[in-house]
Structure 1
């Protein structure tokens, strides 16, 4: 009797398992037979349309393109090509019966619905929503905005803005040194910058990823916040001006062993070494400075314009990858007037230059220039990139580029007598910048 009950239990369990298995297969079959397996848009007269890749999300029943289509691509007159198997029918927007052989152009600028019906079981249906994303802003266009005016009240003799710890730091020197900070370029807070000498020249502050640095004679000053500065006494070197930070090293125009040179020091070390001689025609002051990924992808330093040791204004662009070997990229060419106080930044596949002051005063005609080949040639940028809002011409602007594509033009001098503008302009570019996010 017990054996019969035991066998009966085994048979019952087997039936239940088989039943559950059949139900699962039926459910899986239902899901499969209502699925769309591929999707793209077609119109042979619209270039780039077939490059749009779509994702089919069968959990939320949405078909969409993860990456927005290029600006200007038309999707208002296209025909969907739908791939599926074992479907009884496909209906678009509840009214149009779909056939791959038909060519009825539709508007996909707004969401479109696609209803599928299973051939195995017409009661089983699914409705997809198709959403096509297209860039609404030309990716080659800069969107320029004025963010702030009258950042500070002082009348300084020098200023420099740099980027540190996710903030813009604006250093100025008036009757004393001050540091103004902003996370967005709009709202600013000020504090005294303590520990700096009374001869502090803010024009020569440089930034690494960790700290700010200022050099003067046998003293090197450093700060992690722009407000509190520490002094270090140097040996065997006298700093004329700090130049830039690159690949873990500080660079300066300096005097060592009685000779001027380009000197360098590993960040965190006190040991300076001679990197190279100062080339003839090299700027000793007033140059625009930029460290950016060069055409090879390796960081390079660029020094634009400035004043040489004889007091001559320069129209040169010097470049180096290591501070040892320097190249004048504009040698033999006159792409812009000799000038000082240039702002230079990396942009797309090259460099962009703003402002400056030449022998005739503030530059107006070629205030804004672009180099598509990292300094070999210069030209007026395409109208899409030009500053489109009323903007005064300036020199000694501090340019700051961020990883999200924003460029900030901070401060600068807005008259030949050196009055400071005390304002901020921002430009947002949606192109893929080297080393930047889209």
Structure 2
């Protein structure tokens, strides 16, 4: 603070008023109302301060800005602009307020205002809120994986009915664990979900969880606990589900060695679509990453990345689809090469904040992809590596992985669950991250 302390001023003013009253033939009336009626900040070097809107709580004697100033805003040399109903002297932390000196608001400051009578005091605690974290960064934390002693043959997590559901196959039966925070897990009782089904193809569709059991049978559940077998009407046997978009469920059929995309508007009746030959030959039939997401602009889309095609090759294909249109193969674009986007399998995709996040995976060389996170804001056409603001910090000892589950919950938290390490060991880990700007006003992560 650049202002000096003058604690004697209000008493001098009071003495002057008393002397004036003795000499005057009339008795003057001086206001006892010292309420502050407006408060703002200004700084020539920090224009953002002038945009801050302050609330004055007369009951509790506090002044504060509800909307925090941007991360990193310098509030150590701010000039307060204060208006009171009446004043005979105003002080910040017992230093006189002149209207032009700076005050350090990096911590709460005491504002005292002496009313016009020089005796009545109104006191406020002034707090200037500044975001403590960079809104463009992601805060990552390791959470707790459910405890069990049986072996893990396969695992898959989905976000359904406002909780994360983790399915684990021990080779002879399925197990289910649920959590809303990743800190504690509840063991649930499952029925109707056989250990022979491929968990990786589980899709959330029309308020249900869906799986292909065999060529003519589907498994469906409205609560994730109880599963029902449903016969399907399909020209060719179903092989796997791909994704869902709106009211449409997308799968893959196979007949006489040829694979086809297929579509259903109810999960029961299926229409055969494109044959996965010719220009669609690199569309994967297994080990792909797929997600349905809402871009910043335009309609919802499905993105399918990598995997193994019908010829058994690991591909670097990127297929995009939206309702009423044909599939677009971005891997044919000049922007995508094997060096910028290599052939990959068992990665994970999810939409997040209008972008697409690709995580993990195993390369054709059998090595794990060493770029922890890749982002695309062009619906999969261009990809950039995560910078220091969004990547998982190395001190957290996060290991590269593939076949992990990645989901996003209603509180904008990204969950990374399980997966396999470079030695093909299943990882019993849960990581949770959230973009700080999306967490403002929400419960702590």
Q: Fold conserved (TM > 0.5)?
A: yes
The answer to whether structure 1 residue 179 and structure 2 residue 176 are counterparts is yes
Of the candidates 392, 395, 399, which is equivalent to residue 399 of structure 2?
Answer: 392
Distance 1:191 1:112, change over 3 A: closer
**Hey, what does 1:415 align to over in structure 2?**
422
Q: Per-residue deviation at 1:232?
A: 0.5
The answer to whether structure 1 residue 190 and structure 2 residue 192 are counterparts is no
The answer to whether structure 1 residue 160 and structure 2 residue 156 are counterparts is yes
Contact 1:276–1:325 (8 Å) recurs in 2 = no
**Hey, what does 1:49 align to over in structure 2?**
49
Report the Cα distance in structure 2 between the residues aligned to 1:73 and 1:437, rounded to whole angstroms.
Answer: 24
Distance 1:341 1:230, change over 3 A: same
Report the Cα distance in structure 2 between the residues aligned to 1:270 and 1:199, rounded to whole angstroms.
Answer: 21
Contact 1:302–1:320 (8 Å) recurs in 2 = yes
The answer to whether structure 1 residue 360 and structure 2 residue 372 are counterparts is no
Once the two structures are superposed, residues 183-206 of structure 1 have per-residue CA deviations (whole angstroms, 9 ceiling, x without a partner) of 322333434533234531111111
**Hey, what does 1:6 align to over in structure 2?**
none
Q: Once superposed, what is the RMSD of the aligned Cα atoms?
A: 3.0
Q: Per-residue deviation at 1:312?
A: 2.0
Contact 2:165–2:178 (8 Å) recurs in 1 = yes
Secondary structure of 1:432's partner?
helix
Structure 1: 4+ residue segments shifted above 6 A: 256-259
Q: How does 1:315-354 map to 2 (within 5 A)?
A: 315-322=316-323, 324-330=325-331, 331-332=333-334, 333-334=336-337, 335-354=340-359
Contact 2:39–2:82 (8 Å) recurs in 1 = yes
**Hey, what does 1:68 align to over in structure 2?**
68
The answer to whether structure 1 residue 114 and structure 2 residue 115 are counterparts is no
Query: What is the TM-score normalised by the length of structure 1?
Result: 0.82
Secondary structure of 1:403's partner?
coil
**Hey, what does 2:380 align to over in structure 1?**
375
Report the Cα distance in structure 1 between the residues aligned to 2:288 and 2:87, rounded to whole angstroms.
Answer: 72
Q: Per-residue deviation at 1:137?
A: 1.8
Q: How many residues align?
A: 401
Q: Per-residue deviation at 1:75?
A: 1.3
Once the two structures are superposed, residues 282-305 of structure 1 have per-residue CA deviations (whole angstroms, 9 ceiling, x without a partner) of 122111122222131532222121
Contact 2:291–2:350 (8 Å) recurs in 1 = yes
Report the Cα distance in structure 1 between the residues aligned to 2:409 and 2:127, rounded to whole angstroms.
Answer: 31
Report the Cα distance in structure 1 between the residues aligned to 2:175 and 2:281, rounded to whole angstroms.
Answer: 36
Query: What is the TM-score normalised by the length of structure 2?
Result: 0.80
Of the candidates 187, 198, 203, which is equivalent to residue 201 of structure 1?
Answer: 198
**Hey, what does 1:284 align to over in structure 2?**
285
The answer to whether structure 1 residue 239 and structure 2 residue 232 are counterparts is no
Q: Per-residue deviation at 1:141?
A: 2.4
Where does structure 2 lack aligned partners over 5 or more consecutive residues? 1-29
Report the Cα distance in structure 1 between the residues aligned to 2:130 and 2:272, rounded to whole angstroms.
Answer: 53
Contact 1:256–1:274 (8 Å) recurs in 2 = no
Once the two structures are superposed, residues 252-288 of structure 1 have per-residue CA deviations (whole angstroms, 9 ceiling, x without a partner) of 2235999744333335x63333465553421221111
Report the Cα distance in structure 2 between the residues aligned to 1:383 and 1:260, rounded to whole angstroms.
Answer: 42
Q: Per-residue deviation at 1:35?
A: 4.1
Of the candidates 416, 422, 432, which is equivalent to residue 426 of structure 1?
Answer: 432
Once the two structures are superposed, residues 119-166 of structure 1 have per-residue CA deviations (whole angstroms, 9 ceiling, x without a partner) of 4x6565532321111111222222222222474433343221101222
**Hey, what does 2:20 align to over in structure 1?**
none
Contact 2:71–2:130 (8 Å) recurs in 1 = yes
The answer to whether structure 1 residue 147 and structure 2 residue 147 are counterparts is no
Report the Cα distance in structure 2 between the residues aligned to 1:323 and 1:396, rounded to whole angstroms.
Answer: 31
Secondary structure of 1:290's partner?
strand
Distance 1:277 1:185, change over 3 A: same
Report the Cα distance in structure 2 between the residues aligned to 1:286 and 1:415, rounded to whole angstroms.
Answer: 17
